[in-house]
Amino acid sequence: MKYFPHYTQLDAMDCGATCLRMVAKYYGREFSNQLLRERSFITREGVSMLGISEAAESIGFRTCGVRIPLSKLLEVPLPAILHWNQNHFVVLYGVRKSKFSLLKRGLGSTADDIDGCEFLIADPAGSKYRMSKDEFMRCWVSTSQAGVEQGTAL
């Protein structure tokens, strides 16, 4: 797995721009936090997923914001920016079956296939860490539709 960079947010409202900065760096592109803050239309309340998407598009990325179940998240190309605990953004940069093998993504993987997996998170408010499926779902899920828990990803 390619090394994933980590940056720390400058203030409490800076998580979205900092997540975008990490993703850009992962793809070999360097941008200042100030530029990304401006392009994501940051306010006193922070930034929206739409603001992050518009900033990403303005620097050459193609984005798609979605509310999806975990089974569909497994098909999303990583890294992905996630809405977290209803008030924060983090980057999901990997899903690992064990310490040494990555989950094969998009090949019929289901949520049941990943009960023992670790989710690799880059949190701009702290550091990079691993989470179990249950811990991940508690932080990521924002709604339930027809009994299926869903979260938001970009």
Contacts of 100 (CB under 8 A, 6+ apart): none
Tell me whether the omega of the peptide bond preceding residue 79 falls within 30 degrees of 0, making it cis: yes
Q: Which of 67-81, 87-101, 103-117 has the lowest mean pLDDT?
A: 103-117
Tell me whether the omega of the peptide bond preceding residue 124 falls within 30 degrees of 0, making it cis: no
* Predicted confidence band of residue 144 (pLDDT cuts 50, 70, 90): confident
CA–CA distance, 111 with 11 (Å, rounded to integer): 34
H or E element, residue 70: helix 70-73
Cα distances (Å, whole numbers) of residue 56 to 8, 31, 33, 64: 18, 11, 12, 10
Alpha-carbon radius of gyration of the chain: 15
Domain map (residue ranges) of the chain: 15-58, 66-153
Assigned token pair, 9: 């947010």
Report yes or no: 23 and 79 within 8 Å, Cβ to Cβ. Answer: yes
Contacts of 29 (CB under 8 A, 6+ apart): 59, 60
Q: Which of 38-42, 74-78, 143-147 has the lowest mean pLDDT?
A: 143-147
Whether the predicted pLDDT of 18 surpasses 90? yes
